[in-house]
C-alpha cells in the first residue's frame, strides 16, 4: 500500500511538470499563430506588475538550482555502476537517496526554469529543446527512483533500471548543453575545440561576422556604414524578431528609436543620459551591462563612436562629411577604412590544415600562430636542423598562404634553396641573417608587397641587390650590417624610401 501511494504521488508530480510544459508549448503556439495575447504578456501586463516580478524573482533561482540535479544524478549513476563490483557493493544503499535528491532538485529546477522563461529573450528552438530535455530528466529520475527503491530485486527491472540510468546520463548532459547554449550562444561548447577534433566530429563553427571596411569615408553614411554594423554584430543577437530582450528591437533605426519596455534608450545629443550608452560602459560584471558578460563586447573605439553619434543627434541618413569630427573621432574613423587597416586586419586567410602542419613539424619546422585570433603562422627550424632540403621547402610552399613570419637565420641555405619563397605573398617578416644568400634573394624579396621587416645581416648582399628593394614601399626595417653594401647604395635607398629604418651597424 505504501509503495502504491508513493508511486501515485511521484506520478502526480511528473504529470504536473508535463502539464507545465504543455502550457509553455501552448504559449508558443499562440505566438506562432499570430495571436497577440500570450501567457507571457498576461504576466507582464498585470495591473501593478507585482505578479510578473514575483514570477521572475523565483525564476532566477534556476541557475542556482540547476546544478544540484546534475551533480546528484550523475553521482547516483556512478554509484550504481561502481557498486556492481564486490569491493564497492556497500555503496548500493546510497543510490536511492542520491536519485531522490537528484529527482526532487530536478523538479525544483524545472519549475524555476519554467518561470524564468516568462522573462523572454531566449531562442525559441533552443528553449524548446532545453525544456523537453529537462522534463525528460525529471521523469526518468523519478522512474529510476521507483525502480531502484521498490523493484530492484527483480532481475528484469534491474536491467531496465540500468538502461534508464544510461539514457538519463546522456539526457542530463544534453539538457545542460542546451541550457548553456541559451545563455552563452549555440557554439559555446565547441568554439575552442581543437581543429583536429572538430574535423573528426564534423563540427562546423560559424565564423563571427566581421564589419566591412569603408572604401570612401567622406561619402559613408554614419548610421548605415558605421553605427549599424556595430549594432548588427554586437547587439542584434539579443534584440531581433526571434529574441526581443526587454522588448527592444535593434534590427532597424526606427525600431531602435521606439525604445524598450522601459521607454526610449537614446536621448538625442545626450550620450551620458542615454540608456543605450550607459549600459555599454557599466563594469563588466554588472548584470545590466550590455552586451552581457560572455558575449562579444564592443571595443573602446566602437563605444566612442556610439557616443559621438548620439551627441551628433543620432543622424540616420547623413554622411560623415556632413558632421563635425574631432581629431580623436577622425582617427577612429580612419581605422575603419581600407587604408587605415594593418595588413593583419584587412587580410583574411583560411586556417591551415592540422595534418599539413604536423607533417611540416616532422621535417624539423617550428610552426606556431602569430596571435591567438589569427590564422597567420610563424615558421622557424629546430635547433638540431642546420639546412633546409628542397623537399621540405616544397612542402612548406603548401602553407604559403598562412605563413607571414619566417626565421631561417643561421642556416646553411642559398638563393636557390629559397626560390620557393617567391610564392609567399603574405610574408611580412623575413630573417635570413648569418646565411649564404646573395642578391637573387633580394630580387625575390622586392616582389613581396607586404614585407615589413628584412634582416640580411652577415650575408653576401651587394649594392646591386639593394636596388631591388627601391620599390618596396611596405618595408619599414632593414638590417644590413656585415654585408657587401656600400654607404652610397644605402643613401640611395634611403632617398627612395625615406621612412625606411636602415641599420648598418656602428660603421654607418
Q: Give Cβ neighbours of residue 453 (< 8 Å, ≥ 6 apart).
A: 428, 429, 430, 431, 475, 476, 477
Residue 44 has a pLDDT of 39
* Predicted confidence band of residue 38 (pLDDT cuts 50, 70, 90): very low
- Show the cell assigned to 507: 660603421
Between 213 and 426, residue with greater pLDDT: 426
Residue 81, class by beta-carbon neighbours within 10 Å (0-12 exposed, 13-18 middle, 19+ buried)? Answer: middle
- Show the cell assigned to 469: 628593394
The partner residues of 214 in beta bridges, in order of sequence, read 337
The partner residues of 239 in beta bridges, in order of sequence, read 244
- Cis link prior to 94 (omega < 30° from 0)? no
The partner residues of 260 in beta bridges, in order of sequence, read 263
Residue 51 has a pLDDT of 54
pTM given for the model = 0.47
Phi-psi region of 313 (alpha: psi -120 to 50; beta: other; left: phi over 0): left
3-state SS, residue 99: helix
Residue 440 backbone phi and psi in degrees, to 5 = -60, -35
Sheet containing strand 403-407, strands side by side: 365-369, 377-381, 403-407, 429-431, 453-455, 477-479, 501-503
299-357 pLDDT, tens digit each: 899 999 999 999 999 999 999 999 989 999 998 998 888 666 677 777 889 999 989 99
Question: What is the mean predicted confidence (pLDDT) over 152-173?
Answer: 92
Residue 35 has pLDDT above 50, yes or no: no
Distance of CA 197 to the CA centre of its chain: 17
Q: Can you point out the beta strands (E) in 365-465? A: 365-369, 377-381, 403-407, 429-431, 453-455
3-state SS, residue 503: strand
- pLDDT over 70 percentage in the chain: 81
Length of the chain: 508
Residue 241 has a CB neighbour count (10 Å cut-off) of 9
473-502 pLDDT, tens digit each: 899 999 998 899 999 999 999 999 998 999
* Predicted confidence band of residue 186 (pLDDT cuts 50, 70, 90): low
Between 48 and 237, residue with greater pLDDT: 237
Between 460 and 35, residue with greater pLDDT: 460
Residue 335 has a pLDDT of 83
Residue 261 has a pLDDT of 86
Amino acid at each position: 500500500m505504501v509503495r502504491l501511494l508513493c508511486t501515485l504521488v511521484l506520478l502526480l508530480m511528473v504529470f504536473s511538470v508535463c502539464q507545465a510544459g504543455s502550457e509553455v508549448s501552448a504559449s508558443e503556439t499562440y505566438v506562432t499563430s499570430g495571436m497577440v495575447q500570450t501567457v507571457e504578456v498576461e504576466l507582464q501586463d498585470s495591473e501593478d506588475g507585482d505578479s510578473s516580478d514575483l514570477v521572475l524573482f523565483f525564476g532566477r533561482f534556476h541557475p542556482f538550482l540547476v546544478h544540484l540535479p546534475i551533480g546528484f544524478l550523475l553521482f547516483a549513476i556512478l554509484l550504481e555502476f561502481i557498486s556492481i563490483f564486490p569491493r564497492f557493493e556497500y555503496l548500493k544503499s546510497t543510490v536511492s537517496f542520491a536519485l531522490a535528491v537528484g529527482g526532487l532538485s530536478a523538479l525544483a529546477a524545472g519549475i524555476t526554469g519554467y518561470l524564468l522563461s516568462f522573462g523572454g529573450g531566449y531562442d525559441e528552438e533552443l528553449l524548446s529543446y532545453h525544456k523537453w530535455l529537462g522534463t525528460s530528466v525529471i521523469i526518468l529520475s523519478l522512474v529510476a527512483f521507483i525502480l531502484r527503491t521498490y523493484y530492484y530485486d527483480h532481475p528484469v527491472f534491474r536491467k531496465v533500471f540500468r538502461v534508464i540510468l544510461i539514457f538519463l546520463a546522456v539526457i542530463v548532459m544534453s539538457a545542460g548543453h542546451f541550457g548553456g547554449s541559451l545563455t552563452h550562444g549555440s557554439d559555446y561548447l565547441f568554439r575552442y575545440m581543437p581543429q583536429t577534433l572538430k574535423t573528426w566530429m564534423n563540427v562546423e563553427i560559424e565564423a563571427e561576422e566581421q564589419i566591412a571596411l569603408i572604401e570612401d569615408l567622406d561619402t559613408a553614411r554614419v548610421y548605415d556604414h558605421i553605427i549599424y554594423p556595430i549594432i548588427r554584430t554586437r547587439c542584434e543577437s539579443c534584440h531581433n524578431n526571434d529574441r526581443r530582450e526587454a522588448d527592444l528591437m535593434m534590427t532597424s533605426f526606427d525600431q531602435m528609436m521606439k525604445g524598450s519596455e522601459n521607454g526610449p534608450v537614446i536621448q538625442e545629443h545626450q550620450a551620458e543620459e542615454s540608456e543605450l550608452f550607459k549600459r555599454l560602459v557599466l563594469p563588466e560584471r554588472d548584470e545590466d551591462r550590455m552586451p552581457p558578460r560572455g558575449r562579444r563586447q564592443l571595443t573602446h573605439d566602437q563605444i566612442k563612436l556610439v557616443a559621438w553619434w548620439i551627441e551628433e543627434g543620432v543622424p540616420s541618413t547623413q554622411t560623415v562629411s556632413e558632421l563635425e569630427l574631432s581629431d580623436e573621432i577622425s582617427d577612429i574613423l580612419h581605422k575603419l577604412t581600407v587604408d587605415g587597416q594593418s595588413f593583419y586586419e584587412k587580410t583574411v586567410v583560411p586556417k591551415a590544415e592540422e595534418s599539413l602542419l604536423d607533417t611540416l613539424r616532422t621535417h624539423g619546422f617550428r610552426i606556431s600562430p602569430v596571435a591567438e585570433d589569427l590564422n597567420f603562422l610563424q615558421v622557424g627550424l629546430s635547433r638540431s636542423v642546420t639546412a633546409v632540403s628542397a623537399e621540405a621547402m616544397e612542402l612548406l610552399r603548401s602553407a604559403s598562404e598562412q605563413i607571414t613570419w619566417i626565421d631561417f637565420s643561421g642556416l646553411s641555405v642559398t638563393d636557390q634553396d629559397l626560390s620557393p619563397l617567391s610564392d609567399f605573398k603574405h610574408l611580412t617578416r623575413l630573417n635570413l641573417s648569418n646565411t649564404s644568400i646573395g642578391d637573387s634573394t633580394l630580387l625575390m624579396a622586392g616582389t613581396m608587397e607586404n614585407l615589413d621587416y628584412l634582416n640580411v645581416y652577415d650575408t653576401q648582399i651587394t649594392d646591386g641587390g639593394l636596388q631591388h628593394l627601391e620599390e618596396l614601399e611596405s618595408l619599414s626595417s632593414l638590417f644590413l650590417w656585415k654585408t657587401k653594401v656600400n654607404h652610397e647604395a644605402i643613401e640611395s635607398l634611403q632617398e627612395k624610401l625615406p621612412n625606411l629604418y636602415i641599420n648598418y651597424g656602428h660603421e654607418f
